Amino acid sequence: MMNRIQKTAANMLLNYIADDPLEKLPKIIELAEKLDKDNMHATQIKAVREILSDENNVWYTFVKNLVQEVDKKLFKKFVECFIINANFEGYARGREIERKYDCNVPWAILMDPTSACNLSCTGCWAAQYGSRHNLSYETLDSICRQGKELGIYFYIFSGGEPLVRKKDIIRLCEAHQDCYFFAFTNGTLVDDELCEDMLRVGNFALAFSIEGDEEATDMRRGKGTYRKVIEAMERMKAHRLLFGYSTCYHRYNTESVGSDAFVDDMIARGCRFAWNFTYMPVGKDARLDLIATPEQRAYMYRRINEIRATKPIFAMDFWNDGEYADGCIAGGKRYLHINAAGDVEPCAFIHYSNVNIHDVSLLDALRSPLFMAYRRRQPFNGNMLRPCPLLDNPEMLREMVKESGAKSTDMEAPEDVDVLCAKTAPAARAWAETADRLWAENPKSRKTACEAVQ
């Protein structure tokens, strides 16, 4: 009953501020300060107040651009589903279930509606899954229903190219209006009909995969792909939709995707967020020469923090943000991956599993041997800039796969874990020295590391 009352009150406040957020948010902050009698959230409230009272603050500009250029319905739906449901109601429920069953419960689920794709990108992490698998609409719907029972309200699509199944994705958004949905896409299948559907449902956003400038993007994704991505962004912006970009930085494009010129161009095109991933040599034909150098990972670590401090875009680095997430977020700690064949994997880049979602419940999958091996070992390193059990601590992945008896899920060419880890071991050793130096330079990070390990 108390949760329902709190949610009703939150929605009333949301309806109140939706028409003119910049003018009304300060009033909400005043109310929040009065309600926070024990000062449990005083630091966060103070930070928000400072942002909204300083028109020169980059986050003030971010919020201003968001409310002026994105449809108000989408702004409201994002707050309702992503912030209220996923981060408040869902988070509390997830922690209860974690305590009850002694297993990880994720904040988000990444799932592949299909392994089919209309492109053939160099170094694709999903290439060895094959192209013939699909999760039925009924299975996708069941995953969402089970997820909500566990407090999960955020669902991400990858593939393959998820928009091959765009009609089923829109149908899922309609059926679960209390959830927020998100897809990584190559952008080539975005049309006006999809944009109109996204505006109608309100709870679906896209991240366009792009590798930097036209030359860098077409090098990995095929000639003409860059122009199609830009055209899709223009279409999304014209419909006042919420979108961003996703990039994989590697040895040949890191300086490009981290440059002011590239980031400023993406902001000008309407991107509100940026997901940055480093290249992972997954699959038997993976190119080892694409692995970013230690200097390039260090460059991206510094650049993402500079971008967050100076540019109106929400930027994330899947690896280098380990210091904010207490290391690796996979294995159900914050997210898991379900591929198009139904295999439940700890991470999109870790193609090993004990269980299939067609045979077990989501909760049982989280309690499977490989996921429990993750839970027992996280964090995998006291240095949160070395979070990954494959790229940074390959001995950890080798141990967990063998201990749990997990099998390779690469249908086209199953890869032995010893072979996979041998590919990343040199990169892990090379990064360790640089990462340890960066970590030692940050006293706050050293404190966080100690608390996480304890």
- Region 210-224: what's the mean pLDDT? 85
pLDDT for position 448: 43
CA dist 393 and 427 (Å) reads: 10
Instruction: Compute the mean pLDDT over every residue in the chain, rounded to the nearest whole number.
Output: 88
pLDDT for position 37: 64
- Would residue 265 count as lying in a domain? yes
> Where does a domain end: 55, 87, 119?
87
Given a contact cutoff of 8 angstroms between Cβ atoms, the answer to whether 279 and 250 are in contact is: yes
Cβ count near 256 (within 10 Å) = 17
- Would residue 345 count as lying in a domain? yes
- Determine the longest span between alpha carbons in the chain, in angstroms: 60
pLDDT for position 449: 38
Q: Are 218 and 259 in a shared domain? A: yes
The CATH number of the domain holding residue 271 is 3.20.20.70
C-alpha angle with apex 332: 331 to 334, nearest 5 degrees?
115
Q: Are 72 and 112 in a shared domain? A: no
The packing angle between helices 21-35 and 58-69, to 10°, is 120
| Cis peptide preceding 187, ω within 30 of 0 | no
State pLDDT tens for residues 101-136: 999 999 999 999 998 886 666 655 555 555 689 999
Q: Are 83 and 202 in a shared domain? A: no
CA distances from 379 to 198, 235, 328, 329, 366 (A): 37, 42, 6, 9, 17
- Would residue 166 count as lying in a domain? yes
Contacts of 169 (CB under 8 A, 6+ apart): 113, 157, 162, 163, 181, 183, 204
Going by C-alpha positions, the residue among 378, 386, 373 that lies closest to residue 454 is: 378
- Would residue 40 count as lying in a domain? yes
> Where does a domain end: 62, 87, 112?
87
For residue 109 the two structure tokens come to 């689920």
Q: Are 83 and 108 in a shared domain? A: no
Which pLDDT band holds residue 216 (cuts at 50, 70, 90)?
confident
Q: Are 55 and 124 in a shared domain? A: no
Q: Are 426 and 317 in a shared domain? A: yes
> Where does a domain end: 53, 87, 121?
87
Q: How far apart are the first and last CA of the chain?
A: 36
Q: Are 128 and 73 in a shared domain? A: no
- Would residue 120 count as lying in a domain? yes
- Would residue 94 count as lying in a domain? no
pLDDT for position 9: 60
* Out of 149-158, 345-354, 408-417, least confident range: 408-417
- Would residue 315 count as lying in a domain? yes
* Out of 29-38, 60-69, 154-163, 410-419, least confident range: 29-38
How many distinct structural domains can be found in the chain? 2
Q: Are 83 and 118 in a shared domain? A: no
Q: Are 142 and 14 in a shared domain? A: no
Cβ count near 113 (within 10 Å) = 27
Q: Are 77 and 119 in a shared domain? A: no
* 13: containing domain: 4-87
pLDDT for position 443: 58
- Would residue 201 count as lying in a domain? yes
pLDDT for position 447: 44
Q: Are 191 and 114 in a shared domain? A: yes
Q: Are 272 and 338 in a shared domain? A: yes
